[in-house]
Structure 1
């Protein structure tokens, strides 16, 4: 049974007050024996990892990666060079683990973190693999990340339409992962911080079962992150739950527009 954790925290970044709310949940789905997904939702880093490779290998890969990134949050050192060093250590952890004998063992990694640029806070998305980050801004949903997959490469090359990609036999084949080979740095994208923005960070267990329209629908119907996360998970399971499902929602509110004040722990 999945449990959703919800947090609201008031933070000040470079003298700019921000009210952040987030929620995250994960479920093994209806057809998997184990859950190889893992996630981290702790300010200032929000990431999802979807493991692959062998019965235990995927779980080890995703959790090893999340643990290395958790250490950055604990140390207050969430920045690009530190993230890449942590991922290098995760690759070594995965390779050295006695249960990760499959060469295909690895994990996707995607999410967002807050970073100072020229003295101003910005969101930065990072991505390796085919888990995704979406952004709902001004009531319009856009996919922030680009999948590292064979199907996406065919779409980019004009050899496959997005409609033809659905159900393609290579739809599960990704071209980049943490732990599958020598680490390739994540793709990064800088995003302006705006009140009202809502990020959805998810494994492909969600996007296999919900269209972009469906994700946008549940965001519109549920203005708070906890109920929105629960609604998306329930819909994914109802639509088949063919894979592990993990969802994080992060939203930014102007503190002046908030009627609630977080406690001293930000909850």
Structure 2
């Protein structure tokens, strides 16, 4: 089984203490020879990129995108502006690589990051392509991001039902990606920070094998992020594992506090 990385962080906000725990993993699946997914789980950004393209083009595209975003995390701050600059650099990286081509090479990108600059602080999701961010809140699982795909456009126009979309032959055809030809701006959704929230960030290798109900089931069965990640991965592989599978689970705990200033306190990361 692949490694499941885990981490935690405590952040003092002006009027509350925010505690985060997360876990992440990526797996080639049962039918692919190469894992073209890439994952970044490093506070304050949790993101998944699902590469596409012949030979190793998709692997290069997803890795280049995640590497550029990792640099943003390390230097800060993480914002829409710095993310889009990083994506512009990734586009140049992909275009200049000798083993990528303009024909079909690119990557999806989806994720969520903490924005402490608003009052109060908020989460922001970002999305390009058909990888997804889900939110478990009040025992309901909701897909926060909207797929950029031919099938989603057909559903939105009323020409296809959600049930028909599940097995549509164009299910893998996406309409937006980070590629070698031009920069793409993500869609953003801003969310309140709520105690007890849980995020799932994943590539479509998970959602091809697991329904929203299945995601809800495994989150309900496993309070620990690593346990939830491992259980969902096992289920996806058991159901066929037709694609690369990447999963991040983030647990949110928010407690009111008398702190008067924003300060980032103790943090730790570990691998299991």
Using structure 1 for the length normalisation, give the TM-score: 0.94
- Residue 166 of structure 2 corresponds to 166
Kindly report which structure 2 residues correspond to 1:199-218, keeping only aligned pairs within 5 A, or say none: 199-218=199-218
- Residue 106 of structure 1 corresponds to 106
- Residue 177 of structure 1 corresponds to 177
CA distance in 2, matches of 1:48, 1:266: 21
CA RMSD in angstroms, aligned pairs only: 1.4
CA distance in 2, matches of 1:20, 1:132: 20
- Per-residue CA deviations over 1:91-134 (Å, capped at 9, x if unaligned) read 01000000002421000000000113543210000000000000
C-alpha contact (below 8 Å) 2:16/2:255 kept by paired residues? no
Kindly report which structure 2 residues correspond to 1:1-267, keeping only aligned pairs within 5 A, or say none: 1-14=1-14, 16-179=16-179, 181-254=181-254, 264-267=266-269
Structure 1 residue ranges (4+ consecutive) displaced by more than 6 angstroms after TM superposition? none
CA distance in 2, matches of 1:93, 1:252: 34
C-alpha contact (below 8 Å) 1:68/1:90 kept by paired residues? yes
C-alpha contact (below 8 Å) 2:102/2:181 kept by paired residues? no
C-alpha contact (below 8 Å) 2:22/2:248 kept by paired residues? yes
CA distance in 2, matches of 1:248, 1:265: 18
Which shifted more, 44-53 or 162-171?
A: 162-171
- Per-residue CA deviations over 1:122-179 (Å, capped at 9, x if unaligned) read 0000000000000000000000000000000000000000011111110000000001
Q: Secondary structure at the match of 1:30?
A: coil
Q: Which runs of 5+ in 2 are unaligned?
A: 257-264
Which has the higher relative contact order, 1 or 2, with Cα contacts under 8 A spaced 6 or more apart? 2
Alignment length, in residue pairs?
A: 261
Q: Which runs of 5+ in 1 are unaligned?
A: 257-262
Using structure 2 for the length normalisation, give the TM-score: 0.93
- Residue 260 of structure 1 corresponds to none
For residue 15 of structure 1, report the CA deviation from its aligned partner.
5.2
C-alpha contact (below 8 Å) 1:22/1:248 kept by paired residues? yes
CA distance in 1, matches of 2:228, 2:6: 11
